[in-house]
Amino acid sequence: MAGRMKIFAGSANRELALSICKKLDRRLSRAITDRFADGEIWVKLGENVRGEDVFILQSTYSPAENLLELLLLTDAAKRASAARTTAVIPYFGYARQDKKDEPRMPISAKLVSNMISRAGADRVLTMDLHADQIQGYFDVPVDHLYAAPVLARYVKKTYRKSNDLVVVSPDLGGAKRAREFANRLGGLEVAVMQKTRPRPNISSVVRVIGEVDGKDCLILDDILDTGGTVVNAAVALRAAGAERIRVFCVHALLSGDAVERIAESPISEAVVTDTIPLRVKNRAKLTVVSISGLLSEAIKRIHENRSVSSLFK
C-alpha cells in the first residue's frame, strides 16, 4: 500500500482543493507554480513525496496551460518517487472531440488521455465525462464520478413542494443521463429536445418530444459553455407551455456572453457545480453547489483501497 496521503493542487482549482482538504482534515500540500520571463510554466513540489500516495487536483479547462500544469506536476511526482500518483480532474477538458466522425479530425480526448498516462499518473479520478467511452482511452484505472447525487439532493431540498416536475434532455444524446436523473428523483417524466448543430457552439431546437405543458422543467446537461443549447431549449419549452424552467449543469465554462444570455432568457435558475471556479460578476440566476464532499470521499476511499462505486448511488 502507498504511504501517507498528500494532496497537491494546480492553479485551476485551488479553492476546491482547500475545501476537499478541510473535509478530510488535512492540509493542502505545497506546490509552487511560477513562470519564466517568456511565460513558460515552472513547477515544483514543495515537500517530499517519496513513497507517498499523491493526489494532484487540476481541471483542464481553457487555457491549455491548465492541462500542461497538470502534466508537469504529475511528472514531478513521478520523478520524486511517489508510490502512487492519482490525477484528480474534476473537469476533463478536450473531451468534446471524442470520436472521428469527420475526415481529417483528431480524437483529442484520446490524445489528452495518453498524455496524462505518459506523464506518470497511476490512476485518474474525474467527474461527468462528456462521453463515457473516454474512460477506455486511458491505459490506467479510471474512477468516473457523477454529480447527479449532489444535484438531486438540491432538487429534493429546494423543489420538494412541486408536483409537476419533468426532467428535460437538451439533445437526444443526453436522454440516458436525463432518465437516470429522473429516476433519482422518484421516477419523474422525461422530455427530450430534438436539435441540429450546424457547427460547434451553434445549435437550434427542432421540436420538443414529451409533455411539458404546465410543467416545471429541469434541463439537465453536462457542460454549460456559451449557453446557446440551454437557452434555445428554454425558449422552445416556454413556447410549448412550460411554466418554470431551471437548468442543471455540472461544468460551468460560461464562455463569451453566456451569463448575459441566460439572464435574458426564460430560465429562472441555472444550478452548476464548482468543478470549474465561477468567476463572473453577474450571478443573478446562477447557483453553485459544491462537489467537494463527493470528491473528498472518493479520494479517501482510493487511498484506503476501498470501493468507489457506492458513491454513484
In the residue annotation, 176 being an active-site residue is answered as no
Distance in angstroms between the alpha carbons of the first and the last residue of the chain: 27
- Whole-angstrom Cα distance, residue 269 to residue 286? 6
Catalytic member of 6, 22, 156, 195: 195
- Whole-angstrom Cα distance, residue 31 to residue 55? 12
42-54 b/e (C-beta count within 10 Å ≥ 16 → b): ebebeeebeebbb
- Estimate the crossing angle of helix 65-79 against helix 108-119, to 10 degrees: 30
Cis peptide before 106 (omega within 30 of 0): no
Active site residues: 195
